[in-house]
Structure 1
Amino acid sequence: MFSCRSRAYDPLRADRGAGLRRRIRDATRRLRMPFTTTRRTALKVLAGAALTTLHVRPFAQTKYPARPVQFVVPFPAGGATDIIGRVVAQALSTELGQPFVVENKAGAAGMLGVGSVARAPADGYTLVLGNISTHAISPALQPSIPYDAATQFEPLGMTGRIANVLVVRPSLGVRSVAELIDHARTNPDKLSYGSSGAGGTPHMSAELFKLRTETRMAHIPYKGGGPMLTDLLGGHVDLAFGNMPEFLPHIREGSLVPLGVTSAQRSSDLPEVPTIAEAGVQDYEVTSWFGLFAPAGLPGAIRDQLAGAIAQSQRSEAVTRTFAERGVLVDPLVGADFADYVAAQRRFWADFIKQSGIQADA
C-alpha cells in the first residue's frame, strides 16, 4: 500500500499521482498473466513506478563539512585560549578537508562569544572553544549569563589542559607550600595574592587553596594577567596562582619562586616542583581545560565525526609539538566522556562557590 504525508492540494501533483496509481494497478493485473511480452512490460512499468516515487521525494546526503566552519574563540587574540584554538583549528582543517576559520569574539569574560554560538544553527558549521571558566565556573559565579551551559551545548572533545603554578615573591622568604601555610596561619589576612580577574582559574585556585588549608589571604584582582604579573614582580603582592607558560620564564630567571603545581601530576617543565596535593593539601587539583562545543541538537553523525577528528588531531605531530612548547597537556577526552567530565566540573565548581561564598566581584 502506498501512502503520502498530508500536504496542500496541488492539481498537477494529484493528476500525476492518479496516473501513477492507474499504471501500477494495470501492471499488477498483467503480472497474473503467463510470462509473455505483456508481463515483461508490466515489470518494467512497476520498476519505472518505483523510480518515479523516489524522484517525487528525493533524499541526498551531503558530506560534512561541505563548506568552511566558523571556529569561535571567545577571548582576545594572543592569549592561551586563542593559541590553543588556532592550533586545533588548523589540525581539524587538515583532518576534515575544509577550513576551520578562527573568529575572536571577546567580551564579558568569554560569555559574549559563547552566547553567540548558543543561538547559532546546530548544523556543525559554528563551533566554540570553551574552557573551564565559560562552561563550569561562570555559570555558577555570574548572576546573569547569556546562555545555559548545561542545555544549550553539545560537548565534542577536550583540546588541552594547562596547569597553574603557585609562586611567591623571593623576598617573602617562603620556599615550600608548608612554609606558606604556616606563614599565612601566623599572619591571617596579612598576605595578599593577585589574580588576572575574578572567576578565572588563578582566582579559583587560590580560593580552593584557602579553603583546603584553612588560611586567610587578601585577594587583589587585576584586569588581566599582565598587570598582575607586573605588580607581583615588583613586590606589590605576595603570591599568585597563574598559568604555567606565563610564569615559566620568570621562574627560570629566579624572579619568582615556584612552590607547587595545581595539576594531579608534576609538570615536565618543572619536574622538581611538587604538586600541591603532594605537598600535603588534600583533595586539591585545578587545571585550566579547554574544549570544543557545538550548539545543542547537533546531528549524531556530525557530532561523532567531529569527536573523532578531535581525537585524531591530538595525536598529530603539529599539535603535540606546539602544545609541549607552551606547557599544554594533551588529553584526548571526547564524546560522552568529555560531556560527563564537563558536567562533573559544573557540579564541583557550583558546590565549591556556594560553600566558599565567593562573589563575582570578589
Structure 2
Amino acid sequence: MIRRVTARPVLLACAAAAALTASFRPGLPGEGRVFDLMLVVDITGSMMARDYIVDGAPASRLDMLRRALPGLLQQLPCGSQVGLSIFSERRSFVLFDPVEICAGYDPVTRAIGALDWRMAWEGDSYVLRGLTSALDTARDRGHGIVFFTDGHQAPPLADRPLPGGDGTPGLIVGVGGLAPVPIPKFDDLGNETGFHQPDDVAQASSGWTPPTAAAGSDWDPRVDSPGSTRPGEEHLTRVHEATLRAQAGALGLGYAPLAPGTDLATRVMDHFPGRRVPVTRPLADWLGLACLLLFGLAHAWRFAGRRPPPIPPNQRNERILNARHALFRPGRLGHGPGTLRRHG
C-alpha cells in the first residue's frame, strides 16, 4: 500500500535543510568595491567649541567626531582599510596605517574614542599646511584621506595663493556650525576655566604687514583683523566653509559639511572610486529568511488541514429543507395553533 505524502512534512524538511545550510555560511563569488582611507582629525583648541547637540546635550566638535566615525566604519564594506591621523600646528601625524576594518574594528574605534585635544603638540593651527602634509603622506602610501576640520586658523593667515593638487584623492569634511561660538579655555592641568576673550588670541595675520596707522585711527594689531577697523573675532569660531571649499577646489578634493543627519558613509563612498576586489556574497541571511517562510507555511498548512470536509450537495439541500421546516412550523409566527394562514 502506497502512503500519500502530505505537503506539511515536505515544508518542514525543506526548512530544516535551509537552516542547516545557513549554519555553514555559504556564499557566492562576486566582485565588490572596497576603500583605503586615512582619517585625519583636527584636534586643535577650536575643535572643543560646543555647537552640536548629542543626546539632548551640547557637544563639542571633537565629541561629534568620536560619535560619527564609528558609524562610518560600520557602513564601509569588509575588506576596506582605514587608518587614523591627527592634525595640530602645521602637520598631520599618523597614529597607525590603514588596517582592515572588520578584523580591526574594536581597536580602531577605541583609538577614535581616545582622541583628545591634549594630544596636540602645539597650540597653533595652520590648516592648509596640515592638509598638504596629510596629502603628501597619502601619496607616498597609496591611500585617500578624509580630513575633518573646522578650518579655524590660529593665528589667522593673510590670503595667499593656494597650491595645486597632485591627484591624490581626498575629501574635506567641515565640522561645526556656521554661527560663531566661543572657544573654551583650559588651564595647565586641562581644566576648563571659561572662554577665550579678544585679548587672549592673536586677531591679526602673522604674515601681513599692517598699514601705517593714520591719525585718529582706532586700528589695533592686537585685536583687529587685517584691513579692519573693528575688533576681530578670532576668539570665536565657526566652520570656515568658504575657505575649506576653496582649498578643496584648488587641491582637487571634495567637500562635505558634517551637519546633523548627514549620511557620512554615503558621502565618502560616493566620492572615492575605491578598488575592485573579488568577494564572497553571503547567503546565510537569505537562507534564514527562507527557513522562516517555510516554517510559517508548514504551520499554516497544519491548521488548513483541520477544516471540516465540504458538505455533499444532497446533504446540503436536506439541511436547507430542515431549516425551512423548523422556521415555518405551526405556531412559529404567533397565529395560534394550526397551520399557517394564507393571506389573499
User: What's the TM-score, normalizing by structure 1?
Assistant: 0.28
Larger Rg: 2
User: Which structure has the highest helix share of the two?
Assistant: 1
TM-score, normalised with respect to structure 2: 0.29
